[in-house]
Structure 1
Amino acid sequence: MAHREKLPWELIEEILSRVPPKSLVRFRIISKQWNALLDDKTFMNNHKMTFRFILATKSKIYSVSIDPVIVVRELTLGTPGLKSLKLENLVDCNELLLCGKKRGAVAWNPWLGQSRWIKPSLIKGSYMEVDGIVYDNKKYKMVAFSSGKEDDHFDMWKIYDFASDVWIDYKSEPGNSSSPNAVSGESAVSLNGTLYWVCFREENDPLCYHIRKFDFSSEKWKIFCDLPCGRNHDGDALVLRAFREDRFSLLKQCIVTKKIDIWVTENKINYENGGDVVWMNFMTLSSPNLPGLVDNVHYSQPSYFIEGKRLVVCSCDNTGQAWIYVLGDDKLISKTRILDYVVDPWPLHCTFVPSLVPLFSV
C-alpha cells in the first residue's frame, strides 16, 4: 500500500474553517483532535462563516460579521408555527440564543440554523421574560420570570426543563428574603451552568450594585459578589458579560462624560463562592469623540464583546439606527451605521458566540 502523506494540521484547520457549520457537526467522530478543535472558541471565531451580533426587527433577523469587514446577512428562524416574530428580547446564552416572546420563547442556534419552540407558561394574564439557558446536572434548562398577580399568583421564577418539556414554578411571595431586589433584566449572564444577574437596592447609588445567582438546589436567590461600580445616572450603560469563557466582564459608560470603563475578574469564576472575586480595570476610554452607548429614548443597553485589546459594541442612537463601534487605544477606531441593511429602527440586538450545540439533542 502506498504511503499516504498527511496534511499539516494548520492546513486542516484552514480547510475546516471554510466548511459549512451543519457539516462540521459530523466531523466530531473523526478523532479526539478534531473534536477538540470544534470546541475551541478561537477556531469558531476564526471560521469564515462566523458572526458576532444578532439583530432582530419587527419582521426580520440579521447576523453581523465583523472581520475583516462588517457584513450583514438576513437569517431565517426555521421554527414552524410562528406567524410573526414580535420578539420581546434576545438573550445570548453562550452556546444558544433565546428569543423571548410575550408568552413562550424560541431556543435557537442561528449558526446551525436550528430552533425549538418552547410552549408558553400555563399562567394566564402574566408577562413572562426569558433570562437564559443553563446546562445543569447534564440537562438544559431555561429560566424565565413571570410577573403579575392572578389567582393568588405573585411574581414567579420559572424553570423550563428541555428534556421533560415541563415548567416548574418558584413562587416569590411579597417580603420573601430569598427574592432579589431590583434586577437588571438585560444583564443575565450564563456561565458554567449558572445564571447570574446584576441587582441593585437603589438604582442611582453605585454602592448598591451586586451580582446574584439562583441556586437550583436550594431554590433560593443568593448574593454572589459585589460589582466594582454601578450606575450614577439612569442613562449610564452597565452591562455584565462573560469573559474568556470562565470570567466576568463589566462595561460602564457615564452618560455625562461618555467615559467608558471595562472591568474584568482576575480569576475564573467559582460558582460556589463569590467571596474571592477580584475585579481589575481592563480598559479605560476617555477620548472626546466617544459615542453614547445608551439612547435617551428607550434607554436600551449596548451589546459588546472584547477581543484582545479591542472593544466591539453594537448600540442604537437616539433615532433608532443601529451602529457598530470598534474602540481601542483610548480612541474610537471605526463606526459603521447598518441602516442600509436593517431598515426598521430600534432593533433588538445581542452578541452571539458560535457553537455546534444541536437543538435536537437538547
Structure 2
Amino acid sequence: MQSLPFEIIKDILSRLPVKSLMRFRCVSKDWRYLIHDPFFISQHLNRSSEKNPGLCLADGRFFTIILDGSSTATRVDIPFQGLVDRVEILGSCNGLLCLFVAERLSDWYRHINPIYLWNPARREYRKLPDAPFSSPRIWGISTTVLGFGYDSINNEYKVVRIIYFCERGMDRLIPKSDVRVYSLASVKWKKLGNAPFEIRDTSSKAVLNGFIHWMATRKIKSQMLELIVSFDVRNEVFREIHLPNGVGGECSNFVAVLGGCLSLIECIHGSYVEIWVMKDYGVNGSWTKQFTIELCSYGYGGSIKKLPIEILKSGEILIEKNSQKLVLYNPESKGERDLGIHGLPDQFSLFIFMESLVPLSVGSTYEEHQ
C-alpha cells in the first residue's frame, strides 16, 4: 500500500461500503482525515448512486436494509429501540432517514410525535427539538405530514412539518394548517404559515432536484382539484404541478421518482397501473405515459396491488406487491419474476435507500450527490 499513490488509494476507498470505511478510520491519521473529508464524502455518495438503489423496509418497529446485489435482507436495530414503541420512516435522502417516533403506543394517535434523523450506516442519530404548536381554540388534529430534503446550494438538510387541525368557530369547525421547517445547519424550527391545500401523503417518497413532492387536493370554486405539490427546500416555498390531461377522478394516484424523473403512478382499480413521466422537470407539457402494468385478480372482486418503486438500469421495474413482496417487471415481455430476497418482513413500507458517510454532527459540512 505504501507504494501506491494516495490518489489511487482514495479512488479505491471511495468504492467501498461504509461499514469498511468506518473501520478503516483506525488505519492512520491520513485515512481518518480522508474519510471525514467533505469532498471524499461527496465522491463516495456519487459512487453509491451509480449502483442500483438499495431499499429500507420498515414494519413499525424494525428496519430491514437491502443493498444492491444482495439476496439477503439485513435487519438493522435503531440505537434508541428500547425507548420507543413504534417508528415510521417518513423521508429518505442521501443515506439519512427521517423517522416519526411514538415513545408510547398511545402517543401514535396524537399526530405530534418526536422526529429523529438517523444514518444507519454510520450508526448516528439525532432527535430534533420539539416544534412549537399551539392554538387557543383547537378542536383536534387530523394528520401530520413530514418531508425531508436537501438544499445543495446552501448545503443544508431540512425537515418540513405540516399539521392539519380544526379550530372551533362560532357555529362550525374551521380547518387550518401549521407549516414549519427545521434546518439541520441552524438547528432551529421556523414557522412558514398555512398551506392552501390538503396533502394526502403523510411521508415524502418523491425527492428530486431539491424539491419534495406529495399528492394533494385544493378546492377551486366548488370543485376539488387533484395535483402534485412541491416544496422548494432552498427557498422554502410551495409550488403546484398539474397532473397530465385526463388523469385524476376516481383513480388512486401516487407521486414517485422513477429513472431520475418525477413520475405519476395512476392506479386504475382492479385493472392496471399507468406510469406517467415528466421528461422535462417543471414543464407540464412534458408528461408522457411510459408504461402500463396489468393487475391480476385474486377473487372476491379484489386485485393484487402493484406499486412501482424504481426503474433499474436493466430496464426492469422494481415493484412492491401488496406490501409483502418485491418483484421485477419486464415492460417488454410483460412478465415478472420474484426478486428472491430472503428475510423480508411479513408486511412493510418501503423507501429507496443507499449507504452514505453523511454525518449528523453539528457543524459538519458535506455535499449531496447531484
TM normalised by structure 1 equals: 0.70
User: Any idea what the Cα deviations from partners look like across 1:144-189, whole Å, max 9, x if unmatched?
Assistant: 11122469993111111223322222332xxxxx612454444553
Relative distance call for 1:73 and 1:208 in structure 2 (3 A) is same
1:72 matched residue in structure 2: 73
CA distance in 2, matches of 1:290, 1:45: 37
Residue of structure 1 aligned with 2:336, choices 333, 337, 358? 333
2:368 matched residue in structure 1: none
Contact 1:266 1:277 in 2 (8 A): no
CA distance in 2, matches of 1:278, 1:105: 36
CA distance in 2, matches of 1:222, 1:169: 17
Contact 1:94 1:190 in 2 (8 A): no
CA distance in 1, matches of 2:191, 2:84: 28
1:100 to partner: Cα distance: 1.7
Relative distance call for 1:24 and 1:85 in structure 2 (3 A) is farther
Residue of structure 1 aligned with 2:257, choices 225, 231, 241? 241
Q: What does residue range 1-362 of structure 1 map to in structure 2 within 5 Å? A: 4=3, 13=12, 16-17=15-16, 20-22=20-22, 29=34, 37-41=43-47, 43-44=48-49, 46=51, 52-65=54-67, 67=69, 69-79=70-80, 83-101=83-101, 102=111, 103-123=113-133, 126=141, 128-135=144-151, 137-149=154-166, 154-172=176-194, 179-186=196-203, 189-201=206-218, 208-214=225-231, 220-227=237-244, 230-233=247-250, 236=252, 238-241=254-257, 243-244=259-260, 247-258=261-272, 260-267=273-280, 269=281, 274-275=282-283, 278-286=286-294, 302=307, 304-308=309-313, 309-316=315-322, 322-328=324-330, 329-335=332-338, 341-343=343-345, 345-360=346-361, 361=364
1:106 to partner: Cα distance: 1.3
Contact 1:232 1:254 in 2 (8 A): no
CA distance in 2, matches of 1:332, 1:186: 30
Relative distance call for 1:94 and 1:35 in structure 2 (3 A) is closer
Relative distance call for 1:200 and 1:304 in structure 2 (3 A) is same
1:140 to partner: Cα distance: 2.2
Relative distance call for 1:195 and 1:142 in structure 2 (3 A) is same
1:291 to partner: Cα distance: 9.3
Higher relative contact order (CA 8 A, sep 6+): 2
Relative distance call for 1:316 and 1:28 in structure 2 (3 A) is farther
Alignment-mate amino acid for residue 15 of structure 2 = L
CA distance in 2, matches of 1:63, 1:201: 36
CA distance in 1, matches of 2:193, 2:39: 46
CA distance in 1, matches of 2:68, 2:297: 20
Relative distance call for 1:257 and 1:187 in structure 2 (3 A) is farther
Relative distance call for 1:220 and 1:163 in structure 2 (3 A) is closer
1:327 to partner: Cα distance: 0.8
Alignment-mate amino acid for residue 146 of structure 2 = V
CA distance in 1, matches of 2:283, 2:87: 37
1:122 to partner: Cα distance: 2.8
User: Any idea what the Cα deviations from partners look like across 1:21-66, whole Å, max 9, x if unmatched?
Assistant: 535896784899966642325x4454xxx87221122331111235
SS of the counterpart of 2:121? coil
How many residue pairs get aligned? The number is: 325
1:331 to partner: Cα distance: 2.4
* Structure 2: gaps (5+ residues): 26-30, 102-110, 135-139, 170-174, 366-370
SS of the counterpart of 2:87? coil
CA distance in 2, matches of 1:18, 1:314: 26
1:248 to partner: Cα distance: 1.4
Alignment-mate amino acid for residue 191 of structure 1 = L
CA distance in 2, matches of 1:190, 1:51: 14
1:211 to partner: Cα distance: 2.4
Alignment-mate amino acid for residue 162 of structure 1 = L
Relative distance call for 1:262 and 1:215 in structure 2 (3 A) is closer
Relative distance call for 1:35 and 1:216 in structure 2 (3 A) is closer
* Structure 1: gaps (5+ residues): 173-177
CA distance in 1, matches of 2:190, 2:157: 14
Alignment-mate amino acid for residue 305 of structure 1 = E
Contact 2:270 2:297 in 1 (8 A): no
TM normalised by structure 2 equals: 0.69
Contact 2:244 2:284 in 1 (8 A): no
RMSD (Å) for aligned C-alpha atoms? 4.3
